[in-house]
Amino acid sequence: MARRALVVLTAAVVLSSILRADEPKKRVSDFTLEDYKGEKHSLSDYKSSKAIVLMFIATQCPISNSYNERMVELYKDYSSKGVTFVGINSNKQESAEEVQNHSKEHGFKFVVLKDWNNVVADTLEASVTPEIYVLNSQREVLYHGRIDDSSRENRVTSKDLRAALDRILAGKTVEVTETKAFGCSIKRIK
Amino acid sequence: MLNQTNQVVAKASSLIVVLLAVFFGAACRGTNDRGGQAEKVRAESPAKAGFSVEPIDQAGLKRLIGERSGKVLLLNIWATWCEPCIAEFPDLKKLSQTYDTAAVEVVAISADYPDEVDTKIMPFLRKTDVPFRVFVAQFEHPEDFINAVNRSWSGALPASLIYDSRGKERFFHVGQQSFDDFKREINKVKGGL
């Protein structure tokens, strides 16, 4: 009796772990936003990318700004490997002109899209800047959370976004799929 | 006989003086020691000398929440770089002045870095003249702080929590709240006991 119960329990544990592994990933609906030049960009434009990194960023948030150089480095290290980087500005008070000036000033080579009315932030439930979503070409979320674990670069002990991208590029499953992003709240329209 | 009586009275008086001194000494120490760091005697206004922003770690946070002494706690998590947090401060100030401090305590924890107390936190507190205790989070990483406050918290600021007089979390909200919203929730917690 006890043995049977143990077998059933073991089977249940094994089954639940299989189910977890096969759990469908959150899929993001395609969206189109304009960059600061008024050019339209859709998620479906990046079908051939090995990974799409959506970065909710801000022009005025000190925490987001503390990551400007790190974002430039990430772009430099991974864009040549087939990773697409897309900045998204969902803050209602930051204009397209401000976004453009900010991008130029900090040498961003990736597009920064203006999410008027924070539609995309709402869809993804993004709440702070900086906050990252890494998608595959089927627009499934493979990683969500922070870039790393400290706004002060010399205190970083866990480079979570890089770790996720390295796993994806190596054809492996991302180990840590969810971390907590810390930064300024996205200022939404009411 | 008279001498003997005088001696007894004198001895008894000395004993009373000693006992009173011991009693009051203990009482005074008791006041100062109660709650350790969390209950440290300090000036009520950041404009006055003696007002300080002490670092708070995981143990300190637990102590702050646990040692309620019958008071409801409104705990606000903020940062000087967080605009809605700054906008919320006048209402927090008003709340702390609305309730009897023996019934409701307002405490804020800044998510700035501990080495930014003099450069960022204190200048803001002086300007706002906050009448309540303010700490600065001292955690290795932001996620440690986030999880210590509430595991379900995303980390977005401001975040406010209300603990009942037994230290049980009864309310958690992310985002700026108005004076009336806070008051309604505090009254619910106060009335629910």
The percent of residues in chain B predicted with pLDDT above 70, rounded, is 74
Distance of CA B146 to the CA centre of its chain: 19
CB contacts of B154 in chain A (<8 Å) are 127-128, 180-181
Is the CB of residue B157 less than 8 Å from the CB of residue B149? no
Confidence of residue A42 (pLDDT cuts 50, 70, 90): very high
Tens-place pLDDT, residues A139-183: 999 999 999 999 999 999 999 999 999 999 999 999 999 999 999
Closest Cα in chain B, distance from residue A156 (Å): 9
CB contacts of A149 in chain B (<8 Å) are 141-143
Residue A179 in contact with partner chain B when CB distance is under 8 A: yes
Q: Please check whether the domain covering A26-185 is classified as CATH 3.30.300.30.
A: no
Other C-beta atoms closer than 10 Å to the C-beta of A115 total 23
Is the pTM higher than 0.90? The answer reads: no
The angle, 0 to 180 degrees and rounded to 10, between the axes of the packed helices B83-98 and B179-191 is 50
Residue A128 in contact with partner chain B when CB distance is under 8 A: yes
- Lowest-pLDDT choice from A3-7, A11-15, A22-26, B60-64: A11-15
**Domain definitions of chain A by residue range:** 26-185
Burial readout B41-80 (b: 16 or more C-beta within 10 A, e: otherwise): eeeeebeeeebebbbbbbebbebbbeebeebbbbbbbbbb
Name the DSSP class of A27: B
CB contact under 8 A, B175 and A63: no
Distance of CA A10 to the CA centre of its chain: 36
Q: Which of B77, B78, B81 would best serve as a mutation to test chain A binding (most A beta carbons within 10 A)?
A: B81
Per-residue pLDDT, B36: 38
Confidence of residue A3 (pLDDT cuts 50, 70, 90): low
CB contact under 8 A, B142 and A150: yes
| Mean pLDDT score of chain B | 81
CB contact under 8 A, A180 and B146: yes
CB contacts of A130 in chain B (<8 Å) are none
Q: Which of A122, A156, A180, A190 would best serve as a mutation to test chain B binding (most B beta carbons within 10 A)?
A: A180
- Lowest-pLDDT choice from A41-50, A55-64, B13-22: B13-22
Tokens, residue B126: 């002086």
Return the number of CB contacts < 8 Å for A and B: 49
**Maximal CA-CA distance, chain A:** 72
Phi, psi angle pair for B55, to nearest 5°: -70, 145
Confidence of residue B43 (pLDDT cuts 50, 70, 90): low
Residue of chain B minimizing CA distance to A130: B156
Residue B144 is which amino acid?
D
* Terminal CA-CA length for chain B: 63
Instruction: With residue A41 as reference, give the H or E element that holds it.
Output: strand A40-42
Reference A142, options A22, A20, A26, A16; nearest CA is A26
Q: CA B46 to CA B52: how far, in whole Å? A: 7
Per-residue pLDDT, B48: 67
Name the residue among A61, A155, A181 with its Cβ closest to that of B155: A181
Higher-pLDDT residue of B5, B146:
B146
Q: CA B54 to CA B133: how far, in whole Å? A: 9
Name the DSSP class of A92: T
Q: Which of B82, B145, B178 would best serve as a mutation to test chain A binding (most A beta carbons within 10 A)?
A: B82
CB contact under 8 A, A181 and B154: yes
Confidence of residue B83 (pLDDT cuts 50, 70, 90): confident
Strand order in the sheet with B72-78: B54-56, B133-137, B104-110, B72-78, B159-163, B169-174
Residue B106 contacts by C-beta under 8 Å, 6 or more apart in sequence? B74, B76, B92, B95, B96, B132
| Mean pLDDT score of chain A | 90
